Amino acid sequence: MSKKQDARFDPKEHQHLRYNPLRDSWILVSAHRMKRPWAGQVEKPPEEQIPRYDPRNPLCPGNTRANGEVNPDYESTFVFDNDFPALQPDAPDPGADQHPLFQSKAARGVCKVMCFHPWSDVTLPLMKKEEVVKVIEKWVELVEEIGITYPWVQIFENKGAVMGCSNPHPHCQVWASNFLPNEPALSDRCQRKYYEKHGEPLLLEYAKQEAEKKERVVVESSDWLAVVPYWATWPYQMLLLPRRHVLRLNDLTTEEREGLADIMKRLLTKYDNLFEVSFPYSMGWHGAPTGPHLKENNSHWQLHAHYYPPLLRSATVKKFMVGYEMLAQEQRDLTPEQPEALASLFYCYL
């Protein structure tokens, strides 16, 4: 028997594929590649000295935005219509008489910006728990308010210049659309298929399994679980899940909302401590569709948040999704279990 045939599989040493049940796709894991020296692009360290108030920043209280409107002197969260929206509610319909290879549909919606805090020099992990609770309550309010009309309400945050965020003021965006976007539509199909076959929500069962295995859990509480997904693509990707069956943010109890604020602070503090930097990421919430879908049976859905941080080796080295990832399939250079070291990081701010 050859050495190759006799070798025992070690996920930390041998390449292998992992299945993502939320996207019905496979990820190539090549942990051995982390041993190679890095001679690629190095990002600039993020600016550390951010003023608490900048008279030129359009997101600060009392300042004038690009459209001439003046922000109120807000003291908590502040929501306004995006001055440069990707979706507008009154766009015309392209029409139905089209070639099958050149199809288009009407895209309508609303885009809002939500400031988390009046200060520019704080982020969610640096905010007080009660301040984070107010952020969550505003998310709930927006889902209820906009979700009456639109099938999908996407709450997302891009944090850090490396993620394309040009304004350091703590904020997120909310885009609502008259269509179900690609990612949630795919997730909807995959969760429905699993539910029809197994009789239980995919992510509810997944949370139970991860809580028992304790291999990828980063932070947890009686109501919440933050875990590096078994199928993670990004180095320190995170999946935040409620422990009970919850369809949407507005279905969370008061206790669960307070617990969410606590676990978000704990998770994001661990991120910041990993490379001793204000950790960049893109994150967003996925829950059962709204609008006309509110009257449908969405028992296959489970509320969850995705966190996608780009950093790989340090505060200045990030992962790129190029070449093979764009042309073949997603690939990562360390196993999802390795980032579990996050769980042992020191708490700076708690």
Check if the beta carbon of residue 12 is closer than 8 Å to that of residue 338.
yes
* 99 carries an active-site annotation: no
State yes or no: 320 annotated in a binding site: yes
Q: From CA 314, how far away is CA 236, in angstroms rounded?
A: 12
Determine which one of 171, 286, 304, 306 is catalytic: 171
State yes or no: 348 annotated in a binding site: no
State yes or no: 34 annotated in a binding site: yes
Gyration radius from the chain CA atoms: 21
Give all strands (DSSP E) within 123-242, no chain letters.
Answer: 152-159, 171-177, 217-220, 224-227, 238-242
State yes or no: 331 annotated in a binding site: yes
State yes or no: 71 annotated in a binding site: no
State yes or no: 30 annotated in a binding site: no
State yes or no: 187 annotated in a binding site: no
Q: From CA 246, how far away is CA 322, in angstroms rounded?
A: 35
95: region left, alpha or beta (phi > 0 left; psi from -120 to 50 alpha): left
State yes or no: 36 annotated in a binding site: yes
State yes or no: 173 annotated in a binding site: yes
State yes or no: 165 annotated in a binding site: yes
State yes or no: 66 annotated in a binding site: yes
DSSP code per residue over 284-333 = EEE----GGGGGS--TT---EEEEE--EEEETTEE----THHHHT--EES
Of 225, 254, 246, the residue nearest 288 (C-alpha):
246
State yes or no: 291 annotated in a binding site: no
State yes or no: 295 annotated in a binding site: no
Spatial CB neighbours of 265, under 8 Å, sequence gap ≥ 6: 124, 125, 127, 129, 132, 349, 350
Which residues belong to the annotated binding site?
A: 33-36, 66, 82-83, 158, 164-166, 173, 319-320, 324-325, 331
Which residues belong to the annotated binding site for UDP-alpha-D-glucose?
A: 33-36, 66, 82-83, 158, 164-166, 173, 319-320, 324-325, 331
Q: Which residues are catalytic?
A: 171
